[in-house]
Amino acid sequence: MPVNEKTAALLERLGANLVPLVLIRREILSRCIIELEFAGPVEDLVGKPGNDVMVDIPTTDPDVQARRRYSIRSIDVTQQRMRLWIETSSGGPGATWAQQLPTGAAIEVIGPRGQISLDLEADWHCFVGDMTFVSAAYAMAEAIEPPGQALFVIEVEETEDLVLPQLGDDIAVTVVAVDRAGRLPNDPSGLLAAFAALELPELDGHLYFGGELRVVAALRNAAKERGLSDEQISSKPYWRYGVANLPHGEPKKDS
């Protein structure tokens, strides 16, 4: 596909591809998660479970660019399909795009992107975060070699809106759904309490944290206080409470 110079430079810098896709299906999985399924040459997006794609999101001002990143929920190269799970409670441009994009719409995504993937050496895997993280968390968990062990601690506004992971029989699964109970989404206390109460298996495991910036930072500190090493922790802030993500799709960090 011909691309302009700026996009070509971006693709080269990211080591990613620009891939044309068509939305073929939208499904509401729960009150806060929409699944979008796209068709196209998805072989160009194959990377590692936990990778994401970057999407250009239209805004009300045509001169303002908003890119948003969404973790690849699954890729099926034979069927030429890719699925995304998008949390819709932000009401921001990304959530609105996911709710309104008509089936049949053609889009372009840049991917695969992202540094965090499954630690293949780990004996167990523990995923902690909010609903924006379940797509990456479940995609990584589905790559665990059986027999294996996956633990999930997920905070959600209403626990009945949590979509549960479906893993094979040889993977032991623990799911702790944390009710946000009216706390602000950047209040880490709910996830911190659930993580502190969670008995981690013996042997060497890996922790994966994703979600709101302040919450992810607090979880990382808690894991280190609990004796886990930097090498056992992968964390990524996905968004920041009260601040829209920056035009390149990352949450604004304090300088």
Ligand X SMILES: Cc1cc2nc3c(=O)[nH]c(=O)nc-3n(C[C@H](O)[C@H](O)[C@H](O)COP(=O)(O)OP(=O)(O)OC[C@H]3O[C@@H](n4cnc5c(N)ncnc54)[C@H](O)[C@@H]3O)c2cc1C
Which residues here bind ligand X, judged by CB under 6 A?
Answer: 52, 68-71, 85-87, 89-90, 92-95, 114, 132, 135-136, 185, 236, 238-245, 249-250
Between CA 83 and CA 73 the distance in angstroms is: 5
Shortest Å, Cβ 29 to ligand X: 12
Shortest Å, Cβ 250 to ligand X: 5
* Dihedral pair phi/psi, residue 139, rounded to 5°: -60, -40
Shortest Å, Cβ 202 to ligand X: 31
* Identity of the residue, 93 or 148, whose beta carbon is nearer to ligand X in the bound complex: 93
Shortest Å, Cβ 155 to ligand X: 10
- Please name which of 115, 92, 106 lies closest in space to residue 233, comparing C-alpha atoms: 115
Q: How many helices (H) and strands (E) does the chain have?
A: 5, 11
* Identity of the residue, 28 or 196, whose beta carbon is nearer to ligand X in the bound complex: 28
* Identity of the residue, 100 or 221, whose beta carbon is nearer to ligand X in the bound complex: 100
One-letter identity of residue 110: I
One-letter identity of residue 124: W
Q: What angle do CA 108, 111, 116 make, to 5 degrees?
A: 145
- Please name which of 99, 46, 70, 37 lies closest in space to residue 249, comparing C-alpha atoms: 70
Shortest Å, Cβ 234 to ligand X: 12
* Identity of the residue, 149 or 245, whose beta carbon is nearer to ligand X in the bound complex: 245
Q: What is the 3-state secondary structure (H, E, C) of 143-155?
A: CCCCCEEEEEEEE
Which token pair is 24?
């073929």
Shortest Å, Cβ 8 to ligand X: 22
In the bound state, the residue with its beta carbon closest to ligand X is: 92
* Identity of the residue, 74 or 89, whose beta carbon is nearer to ligand X in the bound complex: 89
* Identity of the residue, 226 or 253, whose beta carbon is nearer to ligand X in the bound complex: 253
Shortest Å, Cβ 69 to ligand X: 4
* Identity of the residue, 140 or 149, whose beta carbon is nearer to ligand X in the bound complex: 140
Q: State the angle between helix axes of 213-225 and 189-197 in degrees (0 to 180), rounded to the nearest 10.
A: 30
Q: How many CA atoms lie within 13 A of 232 on its CB side?
A: 21
Between CA 166 and CA 154 the distance in angstroms is: 15
